Chains A and B, each alone.
Chain A
Amino acid sequence: MNILKAVIDQKKAVKALKNVPVYSEEWWAKIPDTVTFVDPELRPIMVFAVVFGSIQM
């Protein structure tokens, strides 16, 4: 990993973090119900798995 590129990208990324809109609680509450193809009991777990994996991708 080029450390200089990493530093430059980080400065841009940190700038972009300000004023990022946050999803409302209502938005999050809808998500498990919209994944209707997943067993109801598994929906919260599925949501967490997608969120957790996606942050790292």
Chain B
Amino acid sequence: MFSKEFNEKVQMFKDASFFKHTPVTPNLSNDYTWKVLDSGYPVRKAYYDSKVMDKIVCENHERYRFDAYLDLGTRNHFPQMDALGGGSYTLNEETGGINVTDAPTMTADDYDAFAENPTKWLNILFQRKFPDLTTDQFVKATMAFLQASGFQKNIEEKFANKYNIPTMVSTSTNVSSPFETFHSSFRGIAGISLDMRRCPDKLDNVIQSYWKNISMGSLQRAVGNHEHSYIADVYIGLIAHAIMNGKQFDRFYWPYLKEIFDACADTGSMAYIYVESTVARFADHFADIPVGNAMMHLELDDIFEMRKALPKMPLVGGLTTDMLGTADPKTCVDRAKMLIDEMGDGFVISQNKMLSFRNDCRRENLIAVNDFVRNYVH
């Protein structure tokens, strides 16, 4: 079905996940919104016209030629949210920035009822978020959802067939620890921070219910299907751990990650762990994940220190936005060479943070680094 070149690209990343030597280090794009700003197209057109977004991601690849991508312009909620009457995201057309408002839809008093019937409560929270919704708006939102799904399918196929380039992992396989959903969507950062202290048993109960009734089904679907063109099978986002101490992490967060990793080990699946902030203080938890069942993308942690802490974990990242956005090409290339030489096998080079803002990167730096990485045989 796919070309030899495409399969070799996928294999290059899989080899890195098993610490097998690859002559060239795999290069992964962690660019989400910077590519829109780099493109020169009007920001609003990019998010509301899929033909424009298609041009942006294709021209981006033709310029920078990464080996795989985390995003192909598919993380775009605006059309669906506009159809529903607006959501938590706002687009600043002048800067290209996307702002998110912390807007919880539930209180701690709702936890017990939510735990009793999570599916019913998803509908209640939806109603709270959109109290004046009409059926016409819902139908338009469904059309926007289908159009977004269609765009994702088409652009991923285009990259596979025209450029022989894979996508790292499907967004539909996001099976993070349930705490993340309460943290970012239902209760908000401030709310859940207080709940961990004020009503830990209620919080624990609702998280367990969410895991059992909603997350487990998603996990089983993700690890049960290897007939796909992605490199990894499961996406795990680590964001909320940043507000937790060790005891809180062990109670509210880790048990569910462990189930995900156990499921990956049982089924020969690979989890792509995307870490925001730092995770070094919890590193020991990840030490026993078998080689080949996970890969960890680091943001603020020192990648060399994490290599020592987790010698069996393939690591992704190393190029900071601070450097890519302010330094000159030679400095960036020197850093890339040092990373490749020091990290050796079990390493995928990438940007540490999601490239989001105009100053996160300079075009000449990314071109220089990618040209170097593509040709540095070691």
Residues of A within 8 A of B (CB): 1, 3, 5-7, 9-10, 13-14, 17, 20-23, 27-28, 30-31, 34-35, 37-38, 46-57
Contacts and interface: CB of A to CB of B under 8 A. Distances in A.
Given A22-B127, A35-B139, A6 B189 contact: yes
B41 interface: no
B171 to A, nearest CB: 10
B330 to A, nearest CB: 35
25 contacts: A3-B190, A5-B102, A7-B190, A10-B188, A17-B106, A17-B107, A20-B127, A21-B127, A23-B127, A28-B123, A31-B135, A35-B139, A37-B146, A46-B146, A47-B142, A48-B119, A50-B80, A50-B138, A51-B126, A54-B84, A54-B87, A54-B126, A55-B125, A55-B186, A57-B77
A5 B101 CA distance: 9
A37 B143 contact: yes
Provide the main secondary structure of the chain A interface: helix
Contact of A22 (B80, B105, B124): B124
B129 A54 contact: yes
Contacts of A49: 145
Nearest to B106: A17
A22 B104 CA distance: 17
A49 B141 CA distance: 11
A50 B141 contact: yes
Contacts of B184: 56
A55 B104 contact: no
A55 B126 contact: yes
- Cβ-closest 4 pairs across A and B: A6-B102, A56-B185, A57-B77, A57-B87
Interface string B83-113: 0100111000000000011111111000000
A38 to B, nearest CB: 7
Provide the main secondary structure of the chain B interface: helix
Contacts of A22: 124, 127
A41 B82 CA distance: 27
Given A27-B135, A50-B138, A51-B122, A57 B81 contact: yes
A13 B119 CA distance: 22
Given A3-B190, A6-B189, A57 B104 contact: no
A6 B187 CA distance: 11
B80 A10 contact: no
A9 B297 CA distance: 31
Interface string B122-166: 111111111101010011011101100000000000000000000
Contacts of B88: 57
Nearest to B81: A57
B326 interface: no
Contact of B128 (A10, A20, A56): A20
